[in-house]
């Protein structure tokens, strides 16, 4: 971090965040104009604002903010916090166990299982083998190679970290880009296919990206369980439509001059030993169990722990591999869950429902405004942080508007989609940053394609989800 950035963050932004938070914390409860608001609930409001500002400005790493949220919640609004702070006379307190459980929430376990599969796929060459086999189907015509990259990256991003997928595919693509003529605009299109497909692909499954997991978590808490298969069946067609649209957009702006592109993907160097076989069987079995939850009755979160159990018992997933798990993402998600727990546990959710006349608002307007806010924020801060901030609030809004099963699913799923289609700048997502690192993609190219794909994805996402989950839009 440069000295100037350090100075701005810690000498300007941090004091602003602290002043706003302390002000909200210390104001008389009556200042909020909500008759039934308690002191404990006021603290939760201050905590929400603190988390939002810290996530937006990234004064400290986002996952660190999440940990702070959990610690502060435990100390100030839980039933085992600081004695004089946590007196029941100040309002309903949150069970401290429920806050700590955020670290081991079933959805966190779902992500943990996904990370284990991704780490093993990379270690034992499953990713390279599948990429080689799948990309070979698209021949050597540039436009078909581009489509192949979009589809394969999207597929991988449904089950692996989109960052890892983008990095792997870039390694395959760099030699190809180097061989294309300098004036071939198709190079830019190929480089952009990596972030576009990685960002869109994650929408397809609950483990594809943290916003999906956050949506599934809060929908389940509201009484609307969504299985892995149900999410995938509804969202994978949306992803495929968006990939085809992105394919046409990239060809329109960056047409190929070359007549042929040959990919040289190395074969999996690792031999086919028994460990590789176990990883393959475990990988395929886990995905099949996720996809057939409604028939097997085995919850997706439970299934996620199967690879961890099998692969550790066989000595395949070792203590060294544990270090490769992206714990920062898990802790970031946990912080969002803790905020939701505070919102519900202190009774603030019910107070807000009663205080804001949601029933008089237009459902369409609320969805569009919330979607725009989510899209805007996700371009500048982590989409995980954005979803963690907005989804708990919108669950309350959906309840206040009496949207019911279909309306609530539509609204929350739409917000998860809006978080994933934000890809305007190199800072918007890790895959964007990876594409920018090639030196072949200028920010203006990324913004132009990202804006078109984002706008189309926003409109299509709204109509797609309101068609899947039809409800009376007032």
| Boundaries of every domain in the chain | 1-103, 106-209+222-322
Residue 440 DSSP class: S
Q: What is the DSSP string of 258-321?
A: -S-----PPP--S---HHHHHHHHHHHHHHHHHHTHHHH---HHHHTHHHHHHHHHTT-S-HHH
The residue written with tokens 């599969």 in the block is 117
As a whole number, the mean pLDDT across the chain is: 87
What average pLDDT does the segment 354-379 reach?
82
pLDDT digits (tens, 9 = 90+) for 375-431: 988 887 778 888 888 898 898 888 888 788 888 999 999 999 999 999 988 878 888
Closest by Cα among 257, 260, 153 to 200: 153
Q: Is the pLDDT reported for residue 183 higher than 50? A: yes
Q: Angle formed by the axes of helices 305-313 and 274-291, to 10°? A: 160
User: What distance in Å separates the CA atoms of residue 50 and residue 338, rounded to the nearest whole number?
Assistant: 14
Q: Give the percent of the chain with pLDDT over 70.
A: 95
pLDDT of residue 474: 47
Q: What is the pLDDT of residue 216?
A: 93
If you search the block for the tokens 């991704």, which residue do you land on? Answer: 118
pLDDT at 342 over 60: yes
pLDDT at site 358: 62
pLDDT reported for residue 200:
97
Half-sphere exposure of 45 (CA within 13 A, CB side): 21
Residue 46's pLDDT is: 94
Instruction: Kindly report, residue by residue over 429-440, the tens digit of the pLDDT.
Output: 888 888 887 778
Instruction: Tell whether the model's pLDDT for residue 354 goes beyond 80.
Output: no
Tens-place pLDDT, residues 280-290: 999 889 888 88
Q: Which tens digits make up the pLDDT trace of 238-261? A: 999 999 999 999 999 999 988 888
The encoded tokens of residue 161 equal 């970290």
pLDDT at 71: 95
In whole angstroms, give the CA distance from residue 210 to residue 62: 13
What CA–CA distance (Å, rounded) separates 227 from 299? 8
Provide mean pLDDT across the span 129-157: 89
**pTM for the structure as a whole:** 0.81
């Amino acid at each position: 971090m440069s000295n100037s950035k350090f100075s701005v963050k810690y000498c300007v932004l941090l004091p602003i965040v602290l002043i706003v938070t302390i002000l909200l914390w210390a104001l008389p409860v009556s200042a909020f104009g909500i008759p039934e608001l308690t002191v404990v609930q006021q603290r939760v409001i201050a905590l929400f604002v603190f988390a939002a500002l810290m996530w937006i400005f990234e004064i400290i790493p986002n996952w660190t903010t999440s940990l702070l949220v959990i610690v502060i919640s435990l100390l100030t609004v839980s039933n085992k916090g600081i004695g004089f702070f946590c007196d029941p006379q100040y309002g309903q307190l949150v069970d401290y166990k429920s806050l700590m459980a955020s670290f081991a929430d079933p959805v966190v376990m779902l992500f943990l299982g996904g990370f284990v599969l991704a780490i093993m796929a990379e270690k034992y060459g499953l990713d390279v083998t599948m990429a080689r086999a799948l990309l070979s189907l698209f021949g050597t015509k540039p436009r078909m190679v581009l489509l192949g990259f979009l589809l394969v990256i999207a597929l991988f991003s449904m089950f692996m970290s989109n960052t890892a997928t983008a990095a792997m595919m870039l390694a395959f693509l760099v030699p190809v880009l180097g061989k294309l003529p300098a004036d071939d605009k198709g190079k830019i299109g190929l480089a952009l296919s990596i972030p576009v497909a990685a960002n869109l692909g994650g929408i397809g499954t609950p483990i594809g990206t943290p916003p999906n997991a956050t949506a599934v978590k809060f929908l389940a808490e509201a009484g609307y369980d969504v299985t892995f298969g149900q999410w995938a069946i509804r969202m994978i067609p949306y992803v495929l439509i968006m990939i085809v649209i992105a394919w046409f957009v990239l060809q329109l702006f960056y047409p190929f001059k070359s007549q042929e592109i040959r990919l040289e993907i190395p074969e999996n160097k690792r031999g086919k030993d028994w460990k590789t076989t176990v990883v393959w069987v475990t990988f395929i079995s886990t995905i099949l169990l996720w996809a057939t939850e409604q028939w097997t009755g085995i919850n997706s979160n439970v299934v996620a722990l199967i690879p961890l159990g099998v692969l550790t018992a066989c000595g395949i997933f070792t203590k060294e591999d544990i270090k490769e798990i992206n714990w920062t993402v898990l802790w970031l998600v946990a912080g969002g869950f803790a905020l939701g727990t505070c919102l519900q546990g202190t009774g603030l959710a019910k107070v807000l429902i009663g205080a804001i006349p949601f029933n008089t608002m237009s459902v369409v307007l609320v969805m569009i405004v919330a979607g725009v806010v989510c899209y805007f924020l996700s371009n500048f801060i982590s989409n995980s942080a954005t979803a963690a901030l907005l989804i708990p609030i919108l669950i309350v809004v959906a309840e206040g508007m009496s949207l019911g099963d279909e309306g609530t699913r539509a609204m929350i799923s739409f917000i998860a989609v809006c978080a994933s289609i934000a890809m305007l700048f190199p800072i918007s997502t890790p895959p964007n940053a990876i594409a920018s690192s090639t030196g072949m993609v200028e920010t203006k190219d990324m913004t132009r394609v990202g804006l078109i794909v984002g706008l189309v994805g926003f409109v299509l996402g709204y109509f797609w989800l309101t068609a899947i989950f039809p409800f009376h839009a007032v």
